[in-house]
Structure 1
Amino acid sequence: MHVGGAELNTLIAAAALGVPAVWATRLADNPLGRRIAAHAAAHGVRAEVDWDPSARAPLYFVEHGVPPRPSEVLYDRSGTAMTRLTPDAFAWKDLVADAGAALSTGITCALGEGPAAAVTAFFCAAREAGAVTVFDVNHRVRLWSWEEAVPVLRGVLGHVDLLLAGRQDLLRLLPDADPEADQVALARRAIETYGHRMVVLRETSQLPGRRVRTAVTAVTADEVCAGPAYEADVVDAFGAGDAALGVLLASRLAGDDLATTVDKAAWAGAFQHTLPGDVCLVRPADLTRRGAPARRILR
């Protein structure tokens, strides 16, 4: 059994690199909820929790597949604490007062009108405080359809400074998107449409056997920065996007240039594929290691 969640995974990756991280969430006031809070604390993330004694903890079940059978996820989230999140659940201005960045994802928005409105309130407070707002589309078709997601996500995107999305996400979220456009052109269109400072494109390609190739490209109004691609043998594919985003945020907050940032993010995405579970345990030394040594065991 693992504790997982897109925002928490991302914060854990950033915290592992020395970034002070705070996770605002609602949890069931029961042993499972306490287990989740303890997991965050164990990985250096301070949890600001709105405890709900009448809610249950969310569950998801993973069936790992191997080609040609895909892995599958079954979500069990009805009646859980986060589905009852409202825009006034937290004093957002106090939480973001000293923040450099504020993060959320489409998974939170998928949980209902209240959570989606809370994301918007969170981002508005963060921008007023001078923090960079960060949003990972993270569409999960088993949580909500694109028909349900598009109007909600379009309402959020106008409050987003840094967007993490894929080509298919942008084709759906951009009004009248050109289906023949490449991902960089679509990212530029998103910047024009929603006012993002940056769109980050993360690609994972399946290679023969249990191998993948990961790459990250950052697009701004004036610059396209495509980093090198990295290959990895897959132990567990879950959490790779969260790891890449967490390392990207840590790198930007540390003042790294864009080329260094996308390089570290792509490497972290590959690195995470080699670890079991969702949690990114990347260390600063791991980000400077490119390729396993000949003996393959570090002693």
Structure 2
Amino acid sequence: MFDQKATSAANTRVVTLGEIMLRLTSPGHTRLLQTPFLEASFGGGEANVAVSLASFGLDAAFFTALPEGPLGDAAVGELRRRGVDTSAIIRQGERIGIYFLETGANQRASNVLYDRSGSAIALLRREEVDLSALFAGASWFHITGITPAISETAAALSIAAVRTAKEMGLTVSCDLNFRKKLWKYGKSAPQVMGELLPYVDIAVANEEDCQHSLGIGLDIDVSSGGLEVDRYRDLASLVLGRYPNLSKLAITLREARSADSNGWSALLATRGDIYMSRRYEIRDIVDRVGGGDAFAAGLIYGSLCLDDEQEALEFAVAAGCLKHSISGDLNLVSRQEVLRLMSGDGSGRVRR
């Protein structure tokens, strides 16, 4: 299914650009500051993707700016020990971005608080980055809609990055990832993403991302926990119609019945076909943060290493499914574990 193509893609270099943050999580399902303890780890959309790709065996590099000092060192160290190339990271600025996570339970939703204004990557100027050197030897570039939401400076860098990547012949992917709490520097998401998307080949989104990041939406009710699949097909057609440069659009389909129980599947639309994945019933969710990043990484890997669009989609959905069982932002699963789930082995039996 994958050996020959995966072998040929083993030397494919994927570059991601974004912010890695210090993540502070209240233990278990406690409220923030209900106890005096917070669990510290690192995460962030594009960094999460790079870690997943490295765990799948690809050459993955992550670019950002981080301050000198123990927190910046720890963030770089976490990426390095996961196999990610950090050699291009710029060490400057005064602070690392932070986000606080309170994990929901049952009918109580999870909540994220950001403390990332003035972070090193938010202040990094386009002219301080040699994008041609960053993309040298790479064939794929991945970014999310989170990075251009951080600041106007980060938006300028993001747009320049996708433009340079396309000029250098890289495949460009973007997870739209709308974050309402971040868009506060005066420009709207559709304004900025409308400049960025014309340089993208493959987009990843959910229905809210399409509506709020691109200003494209249909009357889809996501609060009921059910799905109207035909409406998502229509949504994909609208997005592909507006952006003729896109070759593929993947839409994740989450049936959120509670914080602990979700249905999980996805749709992949190309210029000629629409593919539907199998559906996973995910109960007793450990941590859903990073599930979309795991899906995006799986789609990149599948596009490079698997035989066809259906297999690429199934790999992405399986990778995203497994992320719900892993604490923290990072999807610490191997390619073999994803392939086992794809093959139908989801029993959770002990392996001896």
On the 8 A contact 1:100/1:253 being kept in 2, the answer is: no
Q: Give the structure 2 partner of residue 29 of structure 1.
A: 68
Between Structure 1 and Structure 2, how many residues are aligned? 297
List aligned pairs for 1:70-81, cutoff 5 A: 70-81=109-120
SS at match of 1:45: coil
- Using the TM superposition, name which of 253-262 and 204-213 deviates more: 204-213
* Deviation string, structure 1 residues 166-217 (Cα, Å, up to 9, x no partner): 1222234556755478222222222221221111101121246822221121
Give the RMSD, CA atoms, in angstroms: 2.0
Whether 2:225 is the aligned partner of 1:185: answer no
Identity rate of aligned residues, in percent? 29
TM-score (norm 1): 0.93
Pair 1:132–1:209, CA change in 2 (3 A): closer
Residue among 232, 235, 252 paired with 1:202: 252
Q: Give the structure 2 partner of residue 213 of structure 1.
A: 263
Q: Give the structure 2 partner of residue 50 of structure 1.
A: 90
On the 8 A contact 2:255/2:263 being kept in 1, the answer is: yes
Q: Give the structure 1 partner of residue 288 of structure 2.
A: 237
On the 8 A contact 1:50/1:89 being kept in 2, the answer is: no
Whether 2:141 is the aligned partner of 1:90: answer no
| AA matched with 2:334 | R
On the 8 A contact 1:211/1:232 being kept in 2, the answer is: yes
| Structure 2 segments unaligned to the other structure (5+ residues) | 1-39, 221-229
Q: Give the structure 2 partner of residue 166 of structure 1.
A: 206
| 1:288 CA drift (Å) | 2.4
Pair 1:236–1:192, CA change in 2 (3 A): same
> Take 1:175 and 1:36, find their aligned partners in 2: how far apart are those partners?
35
List aligned pairs for 1:271-282, cutoff 5 A: 271-282=322-333
Q: Give the structure 1 partner of residue 193 of structure 2.
A: 153
> Take 1:49 and 1:142, find their aligned partners in 2: how far apart are those partners?
26
Whether 2:350 is the aligned partner of 1:297: answer yes
| AA matched with 1:228 | R
> Take 2:183 and 2:280, find their aligned partners in 1: how far apart are those partners?
32
> Take 1:169 and 1:278, find their aligned partners in 2: how far apart are those partners?
20
> Take 2:112 and 2:246, find their aligned partners in 1: how far apart are those partners?
31
| 1:131 CA drift (Å) | 1.0
* Deviation string, structure 1 residues 34-92 (Cα, Å, up to 9, x no partner): 1111111111111121111x411111111111121111111000121011122223211
On the 8 A contact 2:108/2:259 being kept in 1, the answer is: no
Pair 1:214–1:82, CA change in 2 (3 A): same
Whether 2:274 is the aligned partner of 1:224: answer yes
TM-score (norm 2): 0.79
